[in-house]
Amino acid sequence: MSIFVESSDVLPLVDLEIALPVGSLQDPAGQEGLAQLTGHLMRRGPRGLSQERFEERLASLGARVSVEVSMRSTRIRATVLRRNLQPLLGLVADVVWQPALRTTDFAKLKRRTQAALIARLDDDQTLGAVCFREALFGEHPYGRTLSGDTDSLARIGIQQVKDFYARHVAKGVFLVGVAGDVSEVEVRSLIASHFPKARRATKKGFDVPATHIRRGRHVVIVDKPERTQTQLFIGTLGARTRDRNLFPLIVSNTAFGGTFSGPLMQQVRGVRGWSYGAYSRLLHSTQRDAWYMSTAPAAEYSADCAALQLDLLERWVDRGTKKADLDFAQRYLVNSHCFDRDTPSKRLEARLDVELLDIPRSYVDKYDQLVARVTRQQANDATRARISPRDLIIVVVATANEVASSFERLPGVKSLQIVPFDRR
């Protein structure tokens, strides 16, 4: 069994995590949201305990339990008072390997998930982010949403959840991480007495096909009535996790749009005041994930803001990053990295990510050195190699008849599509 321990006696608390290489990538086509429903239904408690009794047991132990499902993993996390670690381990083990998966709990959870999808329509930023990924990745698994949509949820019943659990969780590999006021010898003894034996997790995960970008610039207007403020996303494919250009691109992107002093924020907010926030984000995964800029300009400035961002993007790719901006970005990344490892639970999370998500160990152990040694030439070459200003997805949540003509006139636009905000 793969067990990871980060000991610290600063507080009489222990964090426990069970990590499984199971996420939304394993959702069958047409049943998007299944992995998340399965994880959240497990959280309702083990067999023999109602949800109410389960919550009472947690409260009596001074513990809390959460389940997080992502694209590539399911994480069952718990925090407990040091003196109650042993009974919590047994309870969490039952949650994972003896979950109740009750039909009544599933019906409640499904209704709550459906209500959350409806509520999401009121959140323009989330709506825009979801539509951006759908437009960027199309039918690729990276375009799926964790919670699915109304059509996919309608196809999921309790039997699909039980089958998914049996196939991917019950007999699957898992990692165990423990951080806090406990020794490694004690952890291994307790885990062996409460948890099932498991095959060692391998770094080969779900076989994800390569991602591809559509050629040209494509605009998608998410049509929503009476929008005085818009949400604007402009992006393309970025980098893979195992990409020699990743760290140079991280540094370059931070200099461009990762801080308040970057040209994206300064030109959009500082000079023109068109959006309170203006940032660029670089994601990475097994295959090339998204790079994008996000802003929230008023409807009257939305197309002008998009045109400005396109111009800034072209200048960044063509002219590269100035050395002073690069130096600042490197200092910012190195100095802020301490906040990613200042607690035992954060250090534990990084170790689990290495094992679970196929992240090279050097990214954790030598992060500061990898950032600091990036040269200006490497940063600029990586930007040109990975960021294509000619091949972009532009998504705006707005009232279509107020912005469509101006977005259609943006340079290089190859297509414009209008979709209702509540289309599903």
Per DSSP, the three-state class of 101 is coil
Residue with tokens 């290089």: 412
Which helix (DSSP H) or strand (DSSP E) does residue 80 occupy?
strand 74-81
126-135, 168-177, 289-298, 392-401: the lowest-pLDDT one: 168-177
pTM passes above 0.75: yes
DSSP 345-401: HHHHHHHHHHHHTT--HHHHHTHHHHHHT--HHHHHHHHHHH--TTSEEEEEEE-HH
Longest dimension (CA), the chain: 67
First to last CA, the chain: 43
Per-residue pLDDT tens for 310-346?
999 999 999 999 999 999 999 999 999 999 999 999 9
> What average pLDDT does the chain have?
95
pLDDT for the residue 198 = 57
242: closest CA among 267, 197, 205? 205
Q: Which two tokens stand for residue 406?
A: 């101006």
CA distance 196 to 93: 8
Find out whether 268 and 295 touch, Cβ atoms under 8 Å: yes
CA distance 64 to 393: 41
306: closest CA among 214, 172, 201, 397? 397
CA distance 334 to 368: 5
Per-residue pLDDT tens for 2-41?
899 999 999 999 999 999 999 999 999 999 999 999 999 9
Asked whether residue 206 carries a pLDDT value surpassing 90, the answer given is no
What are the contacts of 369-376 at 24+ separation with CB within 8 A? Answer: 370/247, 371/247, 371/250, 371/251, 371/330, 371/333, 371/334, 371/337, 372/330, 372/334, 374/247, 374/248, 374/251, 374/326, 374/330, 376/320, 376/321, 376/323, 376/326
pLDDT confidence band for 362 (50 / 70 / 90): very high
Find out whether 90 and 96 touch, Cβ atoms under 8 Å: no
Q: At residue 335, what is the residue type? A: N
Could you say which of 3.30.830.10, 3.30.43.10, 3.40.50.620, 3.40.50.360 is the CATH number of the domain covering 2-194?
A: 3.30.830.10
Q: What are phi and psi of 18, to 5 degrees?
A: -110, 120
Asked whether residue 202 carries a pLDDT value surpassing 90, the answer given is no
Asked whether residue 349 carries a pLDDT value surpassing 70, the answer given is yes
Interval 234-243 mean pLDDT: 97
pLDDT for the residue 351 = 94
CA distance 283 to 407: 26
Considering the chain, what percentage of its residues have pLDDT values greater than 70? 97
Question: Which residues belong to CATH 3.30.830.10 in the chain?
Answer: 2-194, 217-420
pLDDT for the residue 52 = 96
Q: Which two tokens stand for residue 72?
A: 């590539």
Could you say which of 3.30.830.10, 3.10.310.30, 3.40.605.10, 1.10.1670.10 is the CATH number of the domain covering 217-420?
A: 3.30.830.10
Handedness of CA 267, 269, 275, 276 (dihedral sign): positive
CA distances from 118 to 114, 115, 198, 421 (A): 7, 5, 40, 11
Pairing verdict, β 175-180 and 13-20: antiparallel
Considering the chain, what percentage of its residues have pLDDT values greater than 90? 94
pLDDT for the residue 203 = 47
Interval 140-162 mean pLDDT: 95
299: which DSSP letter?
G
Interval 270-277 mean pLDDT: 97
